[in-house]
Amino acid sequence: EGHLRGMAVLPSMRGSGIASQLLSRAESELHQRKCTRITLDTTEPLLRAMRFYEKHGYRRSGKTKDFFGMPLIEYQKALL
For the segment 52-78, what is each residue's pLDDT rounded down to a tens digit?
999 999 999 999 999 999 999 999 999
Architecture of domain 2-78: 3-Layer(aba) Sandwich (3.40)
Say what the pLDDT of residue 14 is. Answer: 87
- Give 23-76 as a 3 state SS string: HHHHHHHHHHCCCCEEEEEEECCCHHHHHHHHHCCCEEEEEEEEECCEEEEEEE
Q: How far apart are CA 27 and CA 44, in angstroms?
A: 23
Q: Where are the domains of the chain?
A: 2-78
Q: What is the pTM of this model?
A: 0.90
d(CA 59, CA 1): 15
Q: Check pLDDT > 90 for residue 7.
A: no
